[in-house]
Amino acid sequence: MVSTDGTAATTADLGFARLDLDRVVRTGDPEVVFGAGKTPDQIVAALARLHEEHPGRAVLATRVDGEARTRCRERLPGARVDDAGRTVTLGEPPAPRGRVAVVCAGTSDLPVARECATTVAVFGAEPDLVVDVGVAGLHRLLAERDRIAGADAIVAIAGMEAALPTVLGGLCGVPLIAVPTSVGYGWHMDGLTAFLTMLNSCAPGVVTVNIDNGFGAGVAAARVARQSVAS
């Protein structure tokens, strides 16, 4: 896109949003559409415009509700829709550099894990999704240890008492990002219990993102993996 003075425009004004077209130049990755609170038509329009501006890269929308996912299927040919992760991707992800092990404690954590894995792919690394290896059945996790430890970065996703990142931090010497989820019995305070557990991990090298933030963890892990391969 070119501005009225002949220079490349850095934003696209859609009326309801001003898309940051220059983000890919500054950071290496295009802007992502946060779908919560947006109408289906707004999400479709934003994704279509980002895809038009970045034809060689995948563009992503997260937290897309059911109605908007249906609209994306109808109006965006080639869109890949993940109903579990509530994401929509348009265009082809870049060739992956590095691998991220996306490890979730239970199937109930899968929506956050799927959001994370899709983000990792869009941001240029290979996601390796390891599901249902919570520490209540420690043998399941130990059976996957070599696979997980061989990754360039790990995202550990868990609710309830959220011990998974601490255990992985004691088993693997890989950069590890912990994601607390709002999953659990009784008064788990919508994930606050898991969040505080992860913040207070006794394993060195564990860093924590906000509750249910698979997207943020995926971005960070993909960039770590890319840099690992680059170095």
One-letter identity of residue 219: V
- pLDDT for the residue numbered 224: 97
One-letter identity of residue 199: L
In this prediction, residue 173 has a pLDDT band, given cuts at 50, 70 and 90, of very high
**pTM here?**
0.93
Among 30-39, 44-53, 105-114, 179-188, which is the least confidently predicted range?
Answer: 179-188
Could you tell me the domains of the chain? 11-90 (no CATH), 99-230 (3.40.50.1970)
* pLDDT over 90 percentage in the chain: 90
Burial level of 215, CB count in 10 A (0-12/13-18/19+)?
buried
What is the edge-to-edge ordering of all strands in the sheet holding 206-208? Answer: 126-130, 99-104, 153-158, 176-180, 206-208
- pLDDT for the residue numbered 8: 61
- pLDDT for the residue numbered 231: 58
Task: Please state the rounded mean pLDDT for residues 91-109.
Answer: 95
In this prediction, residue 56 has a pLDDT band, given cuts at 50, 70 and 90, of confident
Task: Please state the rounded mean pLDDT for residues 71-86.
Answer: 96
Query: Residue 145: CB partners within 8 Å, gap ≥ 6?
Result: 171, 172
* pLDDT over 70 percentage in the chain: 96
For the chain, give the mean pLDDT: 94
Residue 178 has pLDDT above 90, yes or no: yes
Residue 6 has pLDDT above 60, yes or no: no
- pLDDT for the residue numbered 12: 93
Task: Please state the rounded mean pLDDT for residues 190-215.
Answer: 96
Q: DSSP class of residue 34?
A: E
Residue 3 has pLDDT above 80, yes or no: no
Which stretches within the chain are classed as H helix?
Answer: 23-27, 40-53, 66-75, 110-122, 138-143, 145-149, 164-171, 192-199, 214-230
Residue 191 has pLDDT above 80, yes or no: yes
Residue 7 has pLDDT above 80, yes or no: no
User: Which single residue is written with the structure tokens 């500054």?
Assistant: 26
Structure tokens at 55: 């034809």
**Hey, is 93 helix, strand or coil?**
coil
For residue 143, CA distances in Å to 28, 114, 139, 146, 156 come to: 36, 21, 6, 8, 16
